Chain A
Amino acid sequence: MAEKIKNEQKLSFGFNFRSAIPIGALIITLLTEILIPNNQEAKYRELTNFRSVLFFALIISVILFTITLFYKNFRSKYSHKGWFIGGFILFFNILNVVTVKFLLLPQIYFPSLNRVLNVYIEDRQFLLKCMGSSFSLLIEGLIFGTVVGVFTGILVGWSLNWNYWLYPIIRILGPIPSSTWIPLALVLFPTPRWAAVFLIAFGVWFQITILTSSGIQSVKKSYFEVSSTMGATNLQNLFHIAIPDALPSIFLGFFNATCSSFVALMAAEMLGVKAGIGWYINWQKEMISYPNVYAGLVIIAVFCYLFITLQFKVRDKLLGWQKGVIKW
Chain B
Amino acid sequence: MVAAKLTKQREGMGNITARDIGKEFIRPDGKRTIALSNLNVDIKAGEFICLIGPSGCGKSTFLRLIAGLSKPTFGEIRLDNQLIKGPGYERGLVFQDSTLFPWLNIYDNIAYGLKIRRVFKQHKQDVNEFIRLVGLAGFEKAYPHQLSGGMAQRASLARALVSNPKILLLDEPLGALDAFTRMNMQDEILRIWKERDTTMLMVTHDVDEAIYLSDRVFVMTPRPAKIEEIIEVNSGRGENRGRQRDSGDFLRLRSKILQILDFTGKTPPPEYYL
Contact = CB atoms under 8 A, between A and B. Distances in A.
Interface string A294-328: 00000000000000000000000001111111000
Centre residue among A228, A244, A323 by max chain B CB count within 10 A? A228
Given A220-B99, A241-B101, A324-B145, A227 B88 contact: no
- Determine the main DSSP class of B at the interface with A: loop
Contacts of A320: 143
Contact of B89 (A230, A240, A241, A247): A230
Contact of A226 (B95, B105, B143): B95
Nearest to B101: A223
A66 interface: no
A159 interface: no
Contacts of B117: 230-231
B163 A231 contact: yes
B113 interface: yes
Interface string A88-126: 000000000000000000000000000000000000000
A325 B143 CA distance: 12
Contacts of B127: none
B150 interface: no
Nearest to B69: A225
B103 A225 contact: no
Q: Which of B89, B105, B159 has the most A CB atoms < 10 Å from its CB?
A: B89
Contacts, number: 77
Contacts of A223: 99, 101
A228 B93 CA distance: 10
B67 interface: yes
B102 A227 contact: no
B103 A227 contact: no
B125 to A, nearest CB: 18
B92 A229 contact: yes
Nearest to B115: A240
Contacts of B222: none
Interface string B94-136: 0101010111110000001100110000000000000000000
Interface string B142-169: 0111000000000000011001000001
A246 to B, nearest CB: 10
B99 A226 contact: yes
A147 interface: no
A231 B69 contact: no
A290 B99 CA distance: 58
Interface string A204-243: 0000000000000000101101111111100010001100
Contacts of B169: 229
Contacts of A227: 112, 116
A245 interface: yes
A325 B102 contact: yes
B69 A228 contact: yes
Interface residues of A, number: 24
Nearest to B70: A225
Given A222-B97, A236-B116, A240-B116, A229 B69 contact: yes
Nearest to A222: B99
A105 to B, nearest CB: 52
A105 B159 CA distance: 70
User: Which of A222, A323, A324 counts the most chain B CB atoms within 10 A?
Assistant: A222
B23 interface: no
Contacts of A226: 93, 95, 99
A118 to B, nearest CB: 51
B67 A245 contact: no
Interface string A235-266: 01000110011010000000000000000000
A231 B101 contact: no
A222 B95 contact: yes
Interface of B: 67-69, 86-89, 91-93, 95, 97, 99, 101-105, 112-113, 116-117, 143-145, 159-160, 163, 169
19 contacts: A220-B99, A222-B95, A223-B101, A225-B93, A226-B93, A228-B68, A228-B87, A230-B89, A230-B92, A230-B113, A230-B117, A230-B159, A230-B163, A232-B113, A236-B116, A245-B101, A247-B103, A322-B145, A325-B145
**Closest 8 interchain pairs by CB?**
A230-B113, A231-B89, A228-B87, A229-B93, A244-B103, A229-B87, A226-B99, A231-B117
